[in-house]
Amino acid sequence: MALTITQQDNTIFLDGVLNTANITSFKKHFSYILESNTNMTLNIENVESIDITALQVLKVMYSQAIMKQNMFFVEGKNSETIYETFSYPNVA
């Protein structure tokens, strides 16, 4: 299943699979939005799976948001797993 990205206000909704095949286009889209907003929520409620490569890219994006003093939230099922991966990012 392909990844569908929609946006409503400061929330990005993902639907499908987030993996190596589509992470580059997602990263470009999300980075552009993060540049123009000080806070952003990523809703992963309808994401069927996230591979390790996509998870690592999300972690880097999270660290970059912190360094820019932007607020970056993840909501939806399995968001706790993602936050555990984000724990203690190296932003120094």
More confident residue, 90 or 44: 44
Within a domain: residue 91? Answer: no
Quick: pLDDT tens for 27-65: 888 778 777 778 889 999 999 999 989 888 888 888 888
- Give the pLDDT mean for 69-76: 87
Task: List the domain range (segments joined by +) for residue 68.
Answer: 4-86
Within a domain: residue 92? Answer: no
The pLDDT, as a whole number, for residue 82 is 79
Quick: pLDDT tens for 77-86: 877 777 777 7
Within a domain: residue 22? Answer: yes
Instruction: Look up tokens 């309808």; give the residue.
Output: 46
The pLDDT, as a whole number, for residue 15 is 94
Instruction: Give the pLDDT band (50/70/90) at residue 90.
Output: low
- Give the pLDDT mean for 69-92: 75
Q: Label residue 9 exposed, middle or buried (CB < 10 Å: 0-12, 13-18, 19+).
A: exposed
Domain count, the chain: 1
Distance CA 48, CA 46 (A): 6
Within a domain: residue 47? Answer: yes
Within a domain: residue 36? Answer: yes
Write the CATH number for 51. Answer: 3.30.750.24
Distance CA 83, CA 86 (A): 5
Within a domain: residue 66? Answer: yes
